[in-house]
């Protein structure tokens, strides 16, 4: 005992210490309780109350996608599926049913008394009758669903495999997370539900199954679902062959079956919801409220094209029936179907253009007229065998509005599915070549450069520039005009004014303009015409390009690149090459069509669009003006007109054996302002021998892409539509891409966009 202390007894002091410790612990608990019940009360109460009500969700349907004339390109169609219980599929079902029946019939107490063997006997006696039910169901599935036994077995096996693997994965995961280490079979959800065996059955068959529900209860489900349907994706186009270049011309009308029409634009949906969807718009949001437009695991999601880009417009919101479990009150809010999306596409024109680009029509194959003949009549050899299909793309857009009427890429995804793996890798059918693939512009950039040079004052329209065949004094091999070659006996164009220079596509003229403008001004002007600028038409990029070139469609040299050119002393040559659309610049066919439309609008820049203005989903269309003088535009258009209409134009004619000339554009009643382009292409990989590998000898270098870009309007009228055609590795722009553009103009006529109609034979034009 220590009398000097307030509490003399050590034992008592220690008891007090224990009490204090206990009180402190209780205060700690109190603090946590205070946090839960006072500070966070609302959150927990909301959580707890949310479980007082039960939600049932009413399905919604996706909006339709329409073309500009109201044709339905995509819609949700109701259909029925037959799903069979998993246990019926595995064959466990009769045993389980028999066991249950046996228990019921023997009675609970008696059942307990039975030995294991006795029980099994009772069960076995009842199995056959349930097995008979299964047999009957399978028989009906086969007859009503019109599938044979093998097909049925394949489907059942596929379901079993799928369920088994996902159930295993589920068990593995739960065991790991919950630390359950015994081998109790945790039933996975997949093992307790019905799985679809027959899809998209007719109403009639669904009705037959409906009648069976009472006879075979609990064995199958009739699921009514909505299926996304694309009515135009496959269709047939009839094209006359009488306006084709004479080597393949005939009086036949060709029937062309199309696959994947506008597939790259419309896109597709997937019925698996990915983590990124749930992260972007979860059904149950973070603050635990429900977003009726959010994603649940059973949802359909737009996976590419407009289906993805306008996912939020199209998908709609589910309805909800909220039942209060306490009071059994029900509140119903109906579902909001997704809104329709009207595109600027004309699906009939789109189909025609796709048919024109189809290899079976003949224009996107290697043909002799594209390669030409020697002066003594021998066919000039090409680098690809005659008849090889060529990848191509075409865009048609309305000048005044920037609306895209047709945008076709060849081959389509659907065609790609028939290719070998290697071929698919080389060809990349997933790429929308019209919108996503980058090409050097080549000569088609020349009218843009002309307008830039005149507006910047480095050229007057009356000024002539002498074509000497080569630009640099000291080098005759380098920066030549295209005719300064041995096959043309090193011809030159002589002295040219702007219009004729454009019509003849004289390189020297445009080297000079580029040189006068200088790299910096060139970049500014090319940028204004869209090179290196993202083209936001309302579609996301789909292909493998997406990661690489997002918001960066097309290329212009940047400051760093320019300083590199300077350092290496290449700035002058880089500048002049950019004058003819070569060197460090690329764009897409859509960019090209848009740039020509800009020129036709007198310099007004509008973004091309694929969604109809006036529909609420239309994007804000940017408008800027290049402030081009009318005279400049007229001069450029005159040059483009000469290019097609004048006999010296590069887009005027095809040469046939015997120096026979045949006009490229033979459509009647229209005026065409266009430019051909032959742009250097990267080495072509080509699996010649079909061994599935690319050997060194199968890489072909020094090939060109063929461009044909221009404007078309009624004869003596103004340009109404811009057309851009590219044929990859097609060689000469005029001879390969030109006939395609001609057919597209005829398609515009056939669809009533332009006056005139198909004539059996074109008349000679200037």
Partner 1 sequence: MSGFLTSSESRWLIPFSSRTQARGAMQSKINPVNVAWLCVIAAVLLNLLGIMAIDTVPRPDSPDFAMKHFQFMIIGMLAAGLIALPHYRFLQRLTYIFMILVLGMLVFVLMKWVPDSIVHPRNGARRWITLPFTDFQPSELAKIAYVLALASYLRFRKNYRTMFGLLLPLFLTFIPMGLIVVEPDLGTAMVFLPTFFAVLIAAGAKYRHLLIVALIGLSLAPMLYPVLQPHQQARIKAMIAQMSGEDRYNQTIGFQADRAKTLVGAGGFFGAGKQKAAALVHYNHLPEEHNDMVFAVICCRWGVLGALATWGLYLILIVGGLLTSAKCREPFGRLVGVGLVTVLFSQMIINTGMTIGLLPITGMTLPFISYGGSSLVVAWMMVGLLLNIALRRPGFTLRHSFEFDEQVDDEVSFRVGVWRMPGA
Contact positions vs partner 1 (CB under 8 A): 1-7, 9-15, 17-19, 22-23, 25-26, 28-30, 32-34, 36-38, 40-41, 43-45, 47-49, 51-52, 174, 177-182, 325-326
140: number of Cβ within 10 Å? 18
CB of 21 to partner 1, least distance (A): 9
Instruction: Report the residue number, 49 or 157, with the smaller CB distance to partner 1.
Output: 49
CB of 288 to partner 1, least distance (A): 10
35 near 290, Cβ under 8 Å?
Answer: no
CB of 299 to partner 1, least distance (A): 20
Instruction: Report the residue number, 180 or 524, with the smaller CB distance to partner 1.
Output: 180
Instruction: Report the residue number, 51 or 702, with the smaller CB distance to partner 1.
Output: 51
CB of 23 to partner 1, least distance (A): 7
In 3-state terms the chain splits into helix, strand, coil percentages (rounded to 5) of 40, 20, 40
* DSSP string computed for 342-385: EBS--HHHHHHHHHHHSGGGSTTB--HHHH-B-TTSPBPP-SS-
CB of 733 to partner 1, least distance (A): 59
* DSSP string computed for 216-274: STTSEEEEEEEEEE-TTSSEEEEEE-TTS-GGG--S-EEEEEESSTTHHHH-EEESS--
Q: Bridge-partner residues for 65, per DSSP? A: 74, 341
CB of 598 to partner 1, least distance (A): 54
Instruction: Report the residue number, 45 or 56, with the smaller CB distance to partner 1.
Output: 45
Instruction: Report the residue number, 158 or 284, with the smaller CB distance to partner 1.
Output: 284
377 near 658, Cβ under 8 Å?
Answer: yes
CB of 106 to partner 1, least distance (A): 24
402 near 621, Cβ under 8 Å?
Answer: yes
CB of 8 to partner 1, least distance (A): 9
What whole-number distance in Å separates Cα of residue 23 and Cα of residue 29? 10
56 near 89, Cβ under 8 Å?
Answer: no
For β-strands 194-201 and 392-398, DSSP reports them as unpaired
CA 439 to chain centre: 19
Instruction: Report the residue number, 278 or 684, with the smaller CB distance to partner 1.
Output: 278
Instruction: Report the residue number, 291 or 417, with the smaller CB distance to partner 1.
Output: 291
CB of 151 to partner 1, least distance (A): 39
CB of 195 to partner 1, least distance (A): 24
Instruction: Report the residue number, 40 or 466, with the smaller CB distance to partner 1.
Output: 40
727 near 361, Cβ under 8 Å?
Answer: no
Instruction: Report the residue number, 326 or 763, with the smaller CB distance to partner 1.
Output: 326
What whole-number distance in Å separates Cα of residue 349 and Cα of residue 345? 8
483 near 492, Cβ under 8 Å?
Answer: yes
CB of 40 to partner 1, least distance (A): 5
For β-strands 684-685 and 670-681, DSSP reports them as unpaired
φ, ψ of residue 190 to 5 degrees: the values are: -60, -25
Instruction: Report the residue number, 51 or 548, with the smaller CB distance to partner 1.
Output: 51
79 near 107, Cβ under 8 Å?
Answer: no
Q: What Å distances lie between residue 467 and 103, 263, 451, 497, 530, CA to CA?
A: 103, 46, 20, 10, 29
CB of 99 to partner 1, least distance (A): 23
Rounded to 5°, angle at Cα 204 from 202 and 206? 70
Rounded to 5°, angle at Cα 125 from 123 and 127? 70
607 near 624, Cβ under 8 Å?
Answer: no
Instruction: Report the residue number, 30 or 683, with the smaller CB distance to partner 1.
Output: 30
CB of 609 to partner 1, least distance (A): 43
48: number of Cβ within 10 Å? 9
Instruction: Give the residue from 267, 276, 224 showing the smallest Cα distance to 77.
Output: 224
CB of 9 to partner 1, least distance (A): 6
Q: Which residues neighbour 328 within 8 Å (Cβ) at sequence distance 6 or greater?
A: none
Check residue 757 and report its DSSP letter: -
What whole-number distance in Å separates Cα of residue 434 and Cα of residue 412? 12
φ, ψ of residue 526 to 5 degrees: the values are: -65, -40
φ, ψ of residue 10 to 5 degrees: the values are: -65, -40
What whole-number distance in Å separates Cα of residue 147 and Cα of residue 733? 52
CB of 54 to partner 1, least distance (A): 9
Instruction: Report the residue number, 14 or 566, with the smaller CB distance to partner 1.
Output: 14
Which segments of 146-200 does DSSP mark as H helices, in order?
149-178
Instruction: Report the residue number, 177 or 560, with the smaller CB distance to partner 1.
Output: 177
Instruction: Report the residue number, 32 or 200, with the smaller CB distance to partner 1.
Output: 32
* DSSP string computed for 575-589: HHHHHTT-SS-BB-H
Instruction: Report the residue number, 34 or 207, with the smaller CB distance to partner 1.
Output: 34
């Amino acid at each position: 005992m220590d009398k000097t202390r307030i509490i003399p007894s050590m034992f008592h002091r220690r008891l007090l210490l224990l009490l204090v410790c206990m009180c402190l612990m209780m205060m700690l608990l109190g603090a946590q309780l205070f946090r839960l019940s006072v500070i966070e009360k609302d959150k927990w109460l909301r959580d707890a109350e949310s479980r007082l009500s039960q939600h049932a969700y009413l399905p919604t349907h996706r909006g339709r996608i329409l073309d500009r004339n109201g044709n339905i390109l995509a819609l949700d169609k109701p259909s029925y599926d037959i799903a069979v219980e998993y246990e019926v599929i595995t064959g466990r079902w009769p045993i389980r049913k028999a066991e249950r029946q046996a228990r019921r019939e023997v009675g609970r107490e008696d059942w307990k008394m039975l030995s294991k063997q006795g029980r099994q006997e009772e069960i076995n006696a009842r199995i056959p009758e349930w097995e008979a039910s299964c047999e009957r169901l399978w028989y009906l599935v086969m007859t009503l669903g019109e599938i044979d036994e093998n097909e049925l077995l394949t489907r059942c096996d596929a379901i079993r495999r799928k369920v088994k693997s996902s159930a295993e994965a589920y068990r593995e995961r739960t065991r790991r997370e919950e630390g359950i280490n015994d081998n109790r079979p945790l039933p996975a959800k997949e093992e307790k539900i019905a799985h679809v065996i027959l899809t998209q059955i007719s109403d009639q068959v669904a009705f037959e199954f409906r009648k069976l529900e009472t006879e075979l209860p609990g064995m199958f489900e009739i699921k009514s679902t909505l299926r996304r349907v694309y009515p135009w994706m496959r269709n047939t186009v009839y094209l006359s062959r009488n306006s084709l270049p004479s080597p393949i011309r005939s009086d036949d009308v060709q029937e062309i079956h199309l696959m994947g029409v506008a597939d790259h634009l419309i896109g597709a949906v997937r019925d698996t919801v990915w983590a990124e969807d749930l992260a972007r718009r979860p059904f149950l949001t973070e603050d635990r409220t429900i977003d009726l437009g959010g994603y649940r695991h059973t949802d359909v999601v737009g996976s590419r094209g407009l289906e993805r880009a306008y996912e939020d417009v199209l998908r709609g919101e589910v309805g909800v029936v909220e039942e209060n479990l306490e009071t059994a009150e029900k509140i119903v809010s109906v579902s909001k179907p997704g809104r329709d999306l009207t595109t600027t596409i004309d699906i009939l024109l789109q189909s025609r253009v796709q048919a024109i680009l189809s290899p079976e029509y003949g224009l996107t194959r290697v043909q002799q007229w594209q390669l030409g003949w020697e002066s003594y009549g021998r066919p000039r050899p090409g680098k690809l065998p005659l008849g090889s299909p060529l990848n191509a793309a075409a865009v048609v857009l309305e000048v005044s509005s920037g609306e895209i009427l047709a945008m076709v890429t060849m081959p389509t995804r659907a065609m790609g599915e028939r290719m070998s793996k290697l071929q698919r890798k080389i060809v990349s059918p997933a790429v929308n070549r019209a919108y996503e693939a980058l090409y050097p512009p080549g000569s088609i950039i020349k009218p843009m450069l002309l307008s830039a040079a005149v507006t910047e004052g480095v050229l007057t329209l009356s000024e002539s520039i002498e074509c000497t065949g080569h630009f640099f004094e000291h080098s005759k091999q380098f920066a030549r005009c295209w005719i300064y070659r041995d096959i043309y006996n090193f011809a030159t164009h002589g002295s040219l004014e702007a219009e004729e220079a454009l019509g003849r596509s004289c390189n020297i003229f445009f080297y000079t303009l580029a040189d006068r403008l200088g790299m910096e001004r060139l970049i500014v002007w090319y940028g204004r015409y869209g090179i290196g600028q993202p083209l936001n038409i309302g579609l996301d990029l789909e292909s493998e390009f997406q990661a690489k070139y997002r918001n960066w469609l097309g290329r212009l040299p940047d400051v760093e690149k320019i300083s590199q050119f300077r350092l290496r002393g290449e700035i002058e040559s880089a500048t002049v090459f950019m004058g003819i659309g070569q060197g460090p610049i690329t764009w897409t066919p859509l960019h090209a069509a848009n740039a020509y439309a800009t020129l036709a609008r007198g310099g007004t820049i509008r973004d091309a669009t694929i969604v109809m203005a006036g529909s609420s989903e239309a994007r804000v269309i940017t408008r800027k003006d290049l402030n081009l003088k009318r005279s400049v535009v007229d001069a450029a258009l005159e040059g483009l007109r000469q290019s097609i209409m004048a006999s010296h134009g590069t887009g005027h004619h095809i040469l046939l054996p015997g120096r026979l000339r045949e006009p490229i554009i033979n459509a009647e009643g229209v005026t065409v302002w266009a430019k051909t382009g032959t742009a250097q292409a990267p080495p072509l990989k080509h699996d010649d021998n079909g061994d599935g590998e690319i050997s060194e000898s199968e890489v072909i270098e020094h090939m060109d892409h063929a461009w044909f870009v221009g404007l078309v309007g009624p004869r003596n009228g103004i340009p109404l539509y811009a057309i851009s055609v590219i044929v990859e590795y097609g060689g000469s722009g005029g001879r390969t891409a030109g006939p395609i553009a001609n057919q597209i103009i005829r398609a515009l006529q056939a669809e009533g966009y332009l006056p005139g109609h198909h004539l059996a034979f074109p008349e000679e034009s200037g």
